[in-house]
Structure 1
């Protein structure tokens, strides 16, 4: 058995393995050439029995907003093994190899949607949160169809095929006030072939105010009438007016579908969006939340904005990304965090990669990390500094890969 990057000649095998292990239609025949464009060889590592692909893992080339700073991110997906080769530890070996691939590509953080949380926990990933899915009747949006005199501008709704507007859509995301989008994934590095395959049935609406895009959404039309729904995959807006206008666009589908489903950030007070919050609605939360991990500590923590002056010496342990092991000094310079790797420090705390990941992403407080034994505070004076530097936050990323 050997692990190597996928080559063009392996793509048919990748297609067959991926489709066998997912909900995609599987066939043992020769796949159409167009269907292979979905797979980018440089992103995929394979375990081979001679030249036969038996297991694989994909490392998507994404960017992610972490506490207001954009970091290069490795998105783990397409973890698959043929059943006759399972329970042999191949995915474990591929996962260790993909960490090296991320390091080589200077991806300092990683995120995934786990097939099994306990599996990835062993590799230093920490469970965060997922989005919520809200289902409401279109009657609850009826007030958006009324005349609103205080929204004074030339408004335009432009409906597009998502496959045609990758650059325009991602550019708008970068234009937003991103302070509320911790964990958001950007897809501007995604290959056009994968974007097209992934967005084949997706519709995008742009809301324009005086010819400037101020809101957008990706959505799907599913069914019709009582058995139909408008499924909003993600939506972004610049202000209250533009939020009102995008919901006005959704409300115009009231005679076409019975209800709307919206994928929205966990913790959002969606009641204020509805005309009558007492109407029946459903809320679902995925039981497999996002999991995150630091891959390169030096880049992951560099320039994170902080509000409290301070200096902390820590000793870090990382079983799988061993380049992270050692001593570090964290200190504030201006309003940003600076990090330096140092030898022979006297640590004020000892922490493992799960603990440091939890702080960076705002998953646990210092007290919770102490309870979980992911951190050992030696100097009690630094607990307050760490909590001030890394307040708890929720992940807000609606894109699933």
Structure 2
């Protein structure tokens, strides 16, 4: 067995493996679309496990940037994890992850994220859920409208949408946590994949301040007032509350076309735009998974609350990234941290008083802001050894906002 990254020569074999893994309902290998330029780029980011030049399994590692606790982190976005059924349950994916984590660390991809087919499968590799997906369904006739004089909605074509929407996104992105930087290629894929009518909201001066994509789901005529025909909003960002109100004004104007609006959202302040909050329906389910690849780097890179001045010490275990199996001494001052690490087998550890013990999955949730220190203590995912209050203060829960799928 050998590991190597795929080349353009491997595109056909890669495409056949992807067809069986991700589109088995096709029931054949016919009509596989090959885009040589696109697929050649994909191949070079895909680590394969080969036996006599036969591709047994592969994992794709895309190079992303994630905004996490006040800083941008180079991120391994893991996708296209595939293994033929005749090769499964033989440890091939485990071998690929072990090699891939080493490559991530060498490439300074010190955090990683993925969208799972099954959460327990990836938990054993140190990934844990870091954000929830949420869809809010709003009856269109329950939307509040208010006059917004200096912001106008404009239905636009793709090029204008890209130019204006990317400006809005870049202006607001650092107001959120756990959100990805978007390159021009990523925007092209978003525009291609997210079908719908594209609106930009402009101030009188011509500056874009909000955007939305309206996707009209199939309409089935019924006299029933509970008709579930909806408009789906997959993309929706705004710079100011006034711009947000302008979007809701536009949505209300669709009450003769659709009875419901579905918003794929991370927004917890939607009730201010609704007449009767009891009319809202929320669907919440687990979303993206996340893991830290290099704990020392991440602890030193992220920003901490300004009010914190103190230190804590903890023991970390990581079954797949041995460089993380250490004791960490973290000193925080002026929103930054100085981190010293000591291997578990060092004689110096005998003199260290630990505040807590944690594994890499739980540390990843803590730093991502999905769960806080006290919640992890309660679930016994943190073993607490002292009454030091600093750990419970330095990692407040965040509203995580990933909106890009890979």
TM-score tier by shorter-chain length is 0.7 to 0.9
Q: 2:53 aligns with which of 51, 54, 79?
A: 51
- Following TM superposition, by how much is the alpha carbon of 1:61 offset from its aligned partner in structure 2, in angstroms? 1.6
SS in 1 for 2:172: coil
Give 1:159 shift: 2.6
Distance 2:150 2:187 in 1: 35
**Are 1:12 and 1:36, in contact at CA under 8 Å, matched by a contact in 2?**
no
Match of 1:215 in 2: 210
Write the distance in 1 (CA, Å) between the matches of 2:302 and 2:213.
32
Displacement of 1:177 in angstroms is 6.5
Q: Are residues 194 and 20 of structure 1, via their aligned partners in 2, closer, same or farther at CA, if it must alter by over 3 Å?
A: farther
Q: Within 5 A, what are the aligned runs for 1:275-354?
A: 275-279=275-279, 281-286=280-285, 288-301=286-299, 302-306=301-305, 307-342=307-342, 344=348, 346-349=352-355, 350-354=357-361
Contact 2:69 2:302 in 1 (8 A): no
Cα drift, residue 46 of structure 1: 1.9
Q: In 2, Cα distance between the equivalents of 1:130 and 1:325?
A: 29
Q: Secondary structure at the match of 2:157?
A: strand
C-alpha distance after superposition, 1:16-45 (max 9, x if no partner): 222322248744136333387266223212
Q: 1:315, 1:347 within 8 Å by CA — same for their partners in 2? A: no
Equivalent of 1:178 in 157, 174, 197: 174
Matches within 5 A, 1:140-289: 140-141=142-143, 143-144=144-145, 148=147, 151-161=148-158, 169-176=165-172, 178-179=174-175, 181-188=176-183, 198-199=193-194, 201=195, 203-209=197-203, 210-224=205-219, 226=221, 228-265=229-266, 268-279=268-279, 281-286=280-285, 288-289=286-287
* Residue 28 of structure 1 pairs with residue 22 of structure 2: no
| Aligned counterparts of 1:241 and 1:87: Cα–Cα separation in 2 | 54
Q: Which stretches in structure 1 are left out of the alignment for 5+ residues?
A: none
Change (3 A) 1:283 1:364: closer
Aligned partners of 1:313 and 1:348 also within 8 Å: yes
Q: Residues 191 and 152 from structure 1, CA distance in 2 versus in 1: closer, same or farther, beyond 3 angstroms? A: closer
Tell me the equivalent position of 2:224.
none
Residue correspondence of structure 1 range 15-164 to structure 2 within 5 A: 15-23=15-23, 26=26, 27-29=28-30, 31-34=32-35, 37=38, 40-141=42-143, 143-144=144-145, 148=147, 151-161=148-158
Q: Which stretch of structure 1 is more off in the superposition, 32-41 or 123-132?
A: 32-41
Give the structure 2 partner of residue 387 of structure 1: 392
Structure 2, unmatched stretches of 5+, are 222-227
RMSD: 2.9
The reply on whether 1:396 has 2:397 as its aligned counterpart is no
TM-score between the two structures when normalised by the length of structure 1: 0.85
CA contact 1:47–1:55 (8 Å) conserved in 2: yes
TM-score when scaled to structure 2?
A: 0.84
Structure-2 change in CA distance of 1:269 and 1:193 (3 Å) = closer
